[in-house]
Structure 1
């Protein structure tokens, strides 16, 4: 048992805990979504107090394993890690830790059996999860097809696509944690008889806006796509073959729909299950809201991300990755995430039981693109891939080692017997340790690029906060621009309107070379970067391959096939302006915000 703080792997007691300056957008997001309010709606805590609240609540788990634990000392270490923006947990932990709500997980998977009673029990659980701040993932592949018989009544089944709208309505009605809409996913197996209806389920941009649709794809299906063969459709209720379709034809329909709307994405079932740590508990067939986590029925997962911008050092020869700092933060973050499981207030007992059976956690990263800029490395380069491999391999190894040590200290996860870890003779506290999540608002708080995505643009408008528009100017671009004298109003107005940084001669060539934005990154490089992280990540990697509006269906087909061939667990694409409202955009609105910014600076 650990009784002394100095023995805690990752302890950073000697590090100053002062919080870095927060951007106006960071403060706006914290005020709008995260900081506690009284019954009158007035904010009653500061960002530092929020981190104190979270750290104290999560550190209280220490006493469960050691009656003499110094919880306050552990809380101080957790606090320093968060207040210095070196690591942030998922949003529900920031919302709810130390509050009456107390639900700290971000993502849940619910089973959807082919039964009215069980299905609407899942709808009820969806409402409870959404209310507590979580998002859901469901798989509707077990629902009998539309028009199938129900008992003695012929042609009466509504089918899985109709059922999705029921779940979407429940999720949309209840704002997550009272402050945000649900991040949810729905998946269907490619061999379901209603697959063609599912593919076009989001053809209307006004429907299912709070769900991401994906198709569960097998290796066999992809082989048939390449060979041009047919494949069978299987009725999940009877197990009988109800028809056959051209695999290539279905693949082309998926591509066409993704070109139109960005949905559906692909989830590669066999690739995921080759990494399933507990195969005796069943196959992994459902993913969470943004595709980063495959879970068993009723499992939940709590996520957290290391801010790579804070993992750099300068010892006189320019910036480089501070692996000593990473080695301190990773085990502390793993301990934090494992503690979250024990202090969590789960929405239903079945979720608590399933979660504690495997104790899955997901440590990832954010700020990767900004870190590359600071290192002088273009995102679309072999050097970037090498850095991605080196960093994620280091994090993955240290995360698993930290979980191994926690397993020795606290005991392995209950489903360890029969797991791949038991086969290898390795004690592990957590069945899985690493995940690359999208980090949406967390990256705004930290003031860095999201997850492992390239920077969307040097200057853009973010559509969040119930329609409120936030002007985002990349801090690295602003820093370099001010240092070298090209940070001017005219330039920003041009960039927010067209995002063509690479064509602006007033920006030095070396800056244009390293400040690569999303639409300059070819689809090939998007996939290669994602694959580099995936090779060293236990779970999946959330990433979107951004296409310009001019992209063709053939471009998307190449990405889908490349994602499969490079071993990704899933792939999502988005063609610019294929949806009327998108969360990130360059726009006329930005001109007004830039004008206000420069007026404010001169007054």
Structure 2
């Protein structure tokens, strides 16, 4: 006879609940999973008690499923997710005020209701007739919801599903289908719904992961879809305050901001010929810090800003003290993400322990009429040689001589304490810049994977004219980029071409429909059409093919070439359909270069038909000036059910303690491929550098490369230093976090990632 428990229903009425009903739900949730439901039932009896509510029973079943999750039986976490969805569907129906059915309601009616409530943009009803929405509704497949594990579905609901009157009112497949409709809204009528179906399928089957701004904002009216922005201060009051405004506008729209501050005169520099009056970069950084805190993106999180300073700047040593615990707290900025921009010349000086000079950019600009921050490569080295001579002859007033290696040791010391500053290799980045004809790349974005030409806006003084206040403005360029990532864990080898084509089209379409928060970003979008297709789940891709992460460089070479080839080919195809980006003429692309390399390099090193692609680009151009960028994807990989980015896993199994309780996290193929998953904390980080360098050959923008040093393994400062030097010499463009596991610990802690780049 089935055991009975006494419960109290939500309406307060007492009733008997038969265990058979619980068993029926569990049997449904366990369908297709490699688990034994009887094991769950035997564990449940321990936790049941008399007078439990139905909600308490449901939560107990979920919690027990999570406790049963292990490397040997990972599918319990999927069962827990399905049980969570049962309750979630009920709550959404209640929030909408419609009768509960164990299926999605009419999609067409949902869109109309959501537009009326202001949840969805009215563009949906302007672009699509009822018959289109009814047909699109047939694409929606509820079964895709059941592929998520508990961590993934919980994060998806909490962070990405839209709310109305403080209640989540949207369901996952509705969100993805609506995004697909809006992404493809401007496609030709005869193929539009076909494109919608393709895009929805890629998103729903988790082949493509959208960055956070697209996933959150695209259904909303006037949403920003761009993840990454970079702006730059110019060294005058009008520009400084304009840049503050840009940072605020971008932060309020959900974007992560990179700010180059290298043009700002140093502390103690001259103002109107009076020496010692300038406050330097630190006061400006503190304002940026407070702006990031103020514009907290709807209370969900503070704005996220990386502030970048060139290694020759006279304020460098103060810059490195921004987040240390000691010193004057009035000169601290704990909520920004510092970034040091280094040249080849500096790295050679570090390597050979040579002298290095720090300068005030204002003095150099005033005396010699060039902007050090605008120089790289040979031009920078020529300028530096000239300045060193001027120092020797006593012509430069403000400078400091330091030992380059000692300065780098200070950088490393701060990194061990906080994981930062990030390091960006300016010459490597600019050698690969396809748009050298219009300017330079001063630094990277917040996650160091996305960057392009940036120019500060120059603003003239106010004047009163014809009853109004006017000022002349020379518009700059604010790097603006949209991101997606291919989920390698779910891709088959024969899907690569079609998935890359869809990913590039998604991002190019987003450029045309996004509401960019700053005008200079809109200008950048229109002129350069920068996008960033990335990768995630590389550790899963390798494990699934029985390839250990250590020793995967040949496999990664092949993968990286396919990735670059198909994404570049897709952008060329769009150029044939829609035209190339407006500043194509004069670019590397127009001069017969791909990835800043000519045909001969590909003939020697590559295996695919690059020669034909060169001919196509010569004929049609390229749609997007930058195409690929690999973001960190730490949080979105949880939603996607894969490992983050292209890095090895941190741990084969761990418990994430969050608002959803103790949630187990395991890689997707851990049960079958346990020994092919290798943990980063047990890997020599030079192997990571080598693998990233292999990828970087085929990634035209950057890669979020985190380094993790396990100090329990007798890692020394020399090991960290040599790994950094290795990254520079092998052509990596930047180092994201330099993380460390302290002795007698198994935890590596740093600031939260930038959610804007998560994708």
- 1:562 counterpart residue number: 726
- 1:418 counterpart residue number: 586
- 1:9 counterpart residue number: none
- 1:25 counterpart residue number: 151
- After TM superposition, list the pairs within 5 Å mapping 1:250-399 onto structure 2: 250-297=407-454, 298-312=478-492, 322=493, 324-381=494-551, 384-399=552-567
Cα shift at 1:179: 3.0
Q: 1:260 to 1:46 in 2, by over 3 A?
A: same
Q: Secondary structure at the match of 2:515?
A: coil
CA distance in 2: counterparts of 1:245 and 1:192, whole angstroms? 12
CA distance in 2: counterparts of 1:184 and 1:397, whole angstroms? 33
From 648, 653, 668, the counterpart of 1:476 = 668
TM-score by length of 2: 0.66
CA distance in 1: counterparts of 2:226 and 2:160, whole angstroms? 15
Counterpart check, 1:215 vs 2:340: yes
CA distance in 2: counterparts of 1:583 and 1:263, whole angstroms? 10
CA distance in 2: counterparts of 1:28 and 1:97, whole angstroms? 21
Question: Alpha-carbon deviations, 1:294-324, whole Å to 9, x = none?
Answer: 2322120011100001113xxxxxxxxx1x2
Cα shift at 1:532: 1.6
- 1:574 counterpart residue number: 739
- 2:247 counterpart residue number: 126
- After TM superposition, list the pairs within 5 Å mapping 1:450-465 onto structure 2: 450-462=644-656
Counterpart check, 1:249 vs 2:249: no
CA RMSD, aligned part only?
A: 2.5
Cα shift at 1:378: 1.6
Cα shift at 1:113: 1.1
Question: Alpha-carbon deviations, 1:369-388, whole Å to 9, x = none?
Answer: 1222222222122xx11221
Report the more deviating stretch, 233-242 or 198-207.
198-207
- 1:589 counterpart residue number: none
Query: Is the CA contact (8 Å cut-off) linking 2:224 and 2:514 kept in structure 1?
Result: yes
- 1:102 counterpart residue number: 223
Q: Secondary structure at the match of 1:558?
A: helix
Question: Alpha-carbon deviations, 1:77-127, whole Å to 9, x = none?
Answer: 111110000001211000011211410011101121112222122222212
Q: Secondary structure at the match of 1:440?
A: coil
Equivalenced residue count is: 523
- 2:163 counterpart residue number: 37
CA distance in 2: counterparts of 1:289 and 1:177, whole angstroms? 20
- 1:403 counterpart residue number: 571
Cα shift at 1:227: 2.5
Question: Alpha-carbon deviations, 1:484-539, whole Å to 9, x = none?
Answer: xxxxxxxxxxxxxxxxxxxxxxxxxx83x422111011111111121121111000
- 2:615 counterpart residue number: none
Query: Is the CA contact (8 Å cut-off) linking 1:461 and 1:469 kept in structure 2?
Result: no
Query: Is the CA contact (8 Å cut-off) linking 1:258 and 1:574 kept in structure 2?
Result: yes
Query: Is the CA contact (8 Å cut-off) linking 1:443 and 1:450 kept in structure 2?
Result: yes
Q: 1:477 to 1:85 in 2, by over 3 A?
A: closer
CA distance in 2: counterparts of 1:227 and 1:128, whole angstroms? 44
Counterpart check, 1:544 vs 2:691: no
Q: For structure 2, which runs of at least 5 residues remain unmatched after alignment?
A: 1-137, 368-395, 455-477, 593-617, 753-759
From 30, 52, 56, the counterpart of 2:177 = 52
CA distance in 2: counterparts of 1:539 and 1:109, whole angstroms? 14
Q: 1:180 to 1:32 in 2, by over 3 A?
A: farther
CA distance in 1: counterparts of 2:272 and 2:404, whole angstroms? 32
Query: Is the CA contact (8 Å cut-off) linking 2:142 and 2:173 kept in structure 1?
Result: no
Query: Is the CA contact (8 Å cut-off) linking 1:379 and 1:521 kept in structure 2?
Result: no
Query: Is the CA contact (8 Å cut-off) linking 1:458 and 1:477 kept in structure 2?
Result: no
Cα shift at 1:441: 2.0
CA distance in 1: counterparts of 2:414 and 2:705, whole angstroms? 19
Query: Is the CA contact (8 Å cut-off) linking 2:259 and 2:306 kept in structure 1?
Result: yes
Cα shift at 1:446: 0.4
CA distance in 2: counterparts of 1:172 and 1:380, whole angstroms? 41
TM-score by length of 1: 0.82
Q: 1:60 to 1:210 in 2, by over 3 A?
A: farther
Cα shift at 1:152: 5.2
Query: Is the CA contact (8 Å cut-off) linking 1:392 and 1:533 kept in structure 2?
Result: yes
